[in-house]
Amino acid sequence: MSTILAATPFVGPGIEWFALSPLLALLAGALLILLVGSLTPPWKRGGYAAFTSLTALVAGVLAVIQWNRIDDNGAKTLVGGSVAFDKFTIFAIIAICIALLLTSLTSEDEVRASNEEGPEIFGLFMLAAVGAGVMVASNDLILLFLGLETMSLALYTLAAKERRNSEGQEAGLKYFILGGFSSAFFLYGIALIYGATSSTNVSIINKTLRGAVRADGNDVLLLVGIGLLLIGLGFKVSAVPFHVWSPDVYQGSPTPVTGFMASVGKVAAFAAFSRVFISGLIYRADDWRPAVWVIAVATLVVGSVLAVRQTNVKRMLAYSSISHAGFMLIGIEAAAHVASDDAANGVSAIAVYLLLYAVLVCGTFAVVTALAKDGGGTELKDFAGAARRRPALALGLTVLLLSQAGVPLTSGFVAKFGVIKAAVEVESYAIAIIAMLSAVIAAYLYLRIMVAVWLADSPEETEAPARLPFSLALSVALAVGFTLVVGIYPQWVLSLGDSLTVLIR
């Protein structure tokens, strides 16, 4: 007797397309510029950059609209629980859109000067932003991995886009090989987490661990999985000892790409880090918080100490980026103190730091892009006497470097004070003291660059520098203005951060 099995029809999850509109706008922009750009004659000067900037603005406006919708209707998950639709996600997407806008403005003249003006570069910028947006919105580890790979593949290609530059090819190859290893660690960690919890959904993992008995047989599987996730995300945020790729890749990549990589990459990786560890794995914080503490301290010390020994400005800023990653890890460590009523302030501090740092680093690399054209390179000696050639740019660079050093009345001070305050509130006094000492050491790095720009003599007198492109000047002006406004009037951004203290659980 035969048994007829009736197949159950597949019913997909409901999708709220408008809630996903910021990501869809970025994706549509990337597809349009690649399709239309390949079928039409070369666009007018600056057309590709203008289209990318417009796409970033549209996506950012849509994100603001979603923020207001969350105010009205509350946070929730989308697409069968795999996408987190909360203010933390929207705040990170806004930071990504701002970084994309500043990078597109910075890149216009750089791409044209390299005789590679075309839609491909700007399409890759938008595809990387799409991957970053998926990462920050992921409430499922598999979706997070897909976003990570989308962003990473675009960044690998952008790092090696200058085919005739041996340093660029080396940077792209190193980034690709080491990034592949980190992705393998991350994927293996996902598999082990699934084996221990029977799910890759962050919310379900949270619920499973909330009621789990600590003496069960899955502890080893779970702990190894957490360790592998920590390695994979540690690479993306340039945390010590997974930072070795950063100086070479930052130096070899085109300067606007380096700024984009440092901003968008950090925002995506730390937002994902917060989502996975603070939301999904919070009930095992006692197991992973000591590791984060050690990594944060090592990242602060190594980033600050090794930075002062560099002679290339982009390598200096690479180690500066590592040091900033250490500060952000302080926020992760503070948020992991589940027994403290102030632990949630760590998430707020991380989110504010990500936004301020994204603008800060994009502006810094925009100035480096402009000054490198005059000096012929990015060695510290190439910046000697830059204040006499470009006084306005030198002043802008000074503001941005002082902000990176954490000087009061700048956004950098607001960011660093926020994470240190979060650490003190949960009584992590040791790491707060180490962070302040590291900031003092790192200040020497920024002073070296400022001394070269303002006080050092140019090796030889050259002809007057060419006129600064409007888009590049606008990018620098926006970054410097934002840095000063937030530094002088920080309350508005801090109040936004205060609404981000609770993630979807």
Q: How many whole angstroms from its chain centre is CA 14?
A: 30
Cut 0.85: pTM above it: yes
Q: Is residue 232 part of a domain?
A: yes
**What does the pLDDT read at residue 1?**
43
CA dist., res. 487 & res. 505, Å (int): 33
In this structure, which amino acid lies at residue 263? S
Q: Is residue 482 part of a domain?
A: yes
Q: Is residue 13 part of a domain?
A: no
- The residue range of the domain holding 450 is 18-498
Q: Is residue 438 part of a domain?
A: yes
In this structure, which amino acid lies at residue 90? I
What are the distances in angstroms from CA 425 to CA 333, 334, 420?
A: 12, 8, 9
CA dist., res. 502 & res. 494, Å (int): 15
Work out the angle between the directed axes of helices 255-273 and 141-159 (0-180°, nearest 10).
170
Q: Is residue 505 part of a domain?
A: no
Q: Is residue 333 part of a domain?
A: yes
**What does the pLDDT read at residue 465?**
65
Q: Is residue 207 part of a domain?
A: yes
Q: Locate tokens 């959904």: which residue?
A: 201
Peptide bond into 241 cis (omega under 30): yes
Other Cβ atoms closer than 10 A to 215? 6
Q: Is residue 229 part of a domain?
A: yes
Q: Which residues of the chain have pLDDT under 50?
A: 1-2
Of the candidates 152, 87, 43, 13, the residue with the CA atom closest to the CA atom of residue 352? 87
> Maximum distance among all alpha carbons in the chain?
97
Q: How many domains does the chain have?
A: 1
